A and B are shown apart, each in its own frame.
Chain A
Amino acid sequence: MTITKEIVEYAAALSRLKLDDAETEDMQKQMSAIVDYMDVLNKLDTENVEPLSHVFSISNVMREDEVVPSYDREALLDNAPERNEECFVVPKTVE
């Protein structure tokens, strides 16, 4: 199938990525080449095959709800690009 400029722009908007015109065109070309190649899968008949997410049968992991210490707030905030005493700082979101 053809990857149109609109598909690239839609995927970019969903992924919170900004692309300029040259990048959009480049991505369109590269994604088209890859998606063309992916179409080879249509040659394989999977009509009666169930999709497989996990190779091992896995079940819900349950545990007792025990109180354990969590990471130190100061240490966590220390990695933030912008912070105050006890919070991450982001631009105002509600006018």
Chain B
Amino acid sequence: MNISEMTALEIGAAIKEGKLTATEAAEQVLDAAEKGNDKVNAYITICREQALKRAAEVQKKIESGELTSPLAGVPFSVKDNICTKGIKTSCASKILGDFAPVYNATVIQKLEDAGAVIIGKLNMDEFAMGSTSETSYYGAVKNPWDLNRVPGGSSGGSAAAVAGNMAAVTLGSDTGGSIRQPASYCGVTGFKPTYGTVSRYGLIAYASSLDQIGPVARDAADCAAVMDIISGKDSMDGTSLEMDYPSYLASLTGDIKGMKIGMPKECYSNSGLNAEVAGKTKAAAKVLEEAGAVVEEISLPFLDYVIPAYYIIAAAEASSNLSRFDGVKYGFRSENYSGLNDLYCASRSEGFGKEVKKRILLGTFVLSSGYYDAYYRKALKVKSVIKKQFDEIFSGYDLILCPVAPTTAPEIGKSLSDPMAMYLSDIFTVSVNIAGLPGISVPCGKDSSGMPVGVQLIGPALGDVNVLNAAFAYQQRTDYHKQFTEVQ
């Protein structure tokens, strides 16, 4: 049985029905990952030996009835900023060297307990800082739809691996769009859950108040199946929410009759928005309308302020979070230093890449005495305004629909030469993180050069099920998520 174009749920079902073993599934994904990686560079580490050993154990437990999860035996791949016990976790940075965590992130432990099998660790922008997956110490990731283009970022490896059939389902992380934007560029489905519904324990921190782990998969149902496993209160993450978690997969009915969806006019009047992207996402709204949703134009008055507020908050938190990398406890240590302070300085200067250094400096600046009020405190006030305006919108609407990114995937090398333009490309995604909301990117067509376009659905905090269900309803009526590419 060839699983290359099957969803994770289909693979899980086939294993349960005895049409396929967990070992065969792992072998196929490992082969595809190894074969495609020369071109796509989606993986930093592929763990064949461990994966096959695990798959054999899991297969026995599935046969004995000990493992019953719909994803038991399913191969999965993980962004390299999520800690995996004994498996190198690099954050795509030189500074982590060959660091192999002594513990599993909570999401990894939960997936392993459910019987999923780790295939490897996925490439990304260094420390998840970037929108193109070009800043990796391990080289740029390529978009499987066109190897001259970026896959988006920072979870570029997660999206490219699914798009290139080099992974069945993956985990990414989303701080300002890092799951949704690469999913859009690669024509796959990426879900960013409400802040606090998935534990961040074991996620190497970039901006802790914005970071959230989520799935990148073939469709919304796979995302929901992953959420059923990884969501939940975790005592190891103080911000994880104590509540009754829904059954995500079981909630997908496809019924969206009467659902009220708002389309922000400011997104569509944005001068950077490509006409084809505008057209495809409007067509997606039509599909939802035909399925019974009520679509109306709304206003997002804060859109001009989201990028500066985001970069101030993210850089500030990054400068603090990344101070732990000192060349002492793990990872890279410079060979050229004199004394302790110089050991820190030399190790950090040689270990961090340029984009990371820039954000550390920026964050240090906005937090420094004399500038704190003008920048950091101001950004937190803007955050308050953004949250309040979202609350007002969601008092009248169930979801917001807008593009994920203003354009389709740019060519490699184009974005980093104009960093301001790269930052602006996050304009439709960052507000979701600022307000802690759930959002999904769903493939909704191709532009004239054949590159995928994604549409974004955003819900109120804890409206995750509605977001997934609307995406599910859309995918019941379209086949853009079933279009595949061969890595040439």
Contact = CB atoms under 8 A, between A and B. Distances in A.
Contact of B311 (A38, A52, A54): A38
A67 interface: no
A58 B436 CA distance: 13
Interface string A70-92: 01100110011110000010110
Nearest to B195: A55
Nearest to B98: A79
B358 interface: yes
B74 interface: no
A15 B360 contact: yes
Interface string B8-21: 00000000000000
A19 B354 CA distance: 11
A79 B98 CA distance: 8
Nearest to A60: B238
Contacts of A63: 235
B216 interface: no
Interface string B65-105: 00000000000000000000000000000000101101100
Contact of A80 (B330, B346, B362): B330
Nearest to B355: A30
Interface residues of A, number: 50
B377 interface: yes
B94 to A, nearest CB: 13
Contact of B385 (A7, A19, A37, A46): A46
B487 interface: no
Interface string A15-34: 11111000000010011011
B180 interface: no
Interface stretch (B139-147, B161-169, B289-297, B336-344): B336-344
Interface of A: 3, 7-8, 10-12, 14-19, 27, 30-31, 33-35, 37-44, 46, 49-56, 58, 61, 63, 71-72, 75-76, 79-82, 88, 90-91, 93
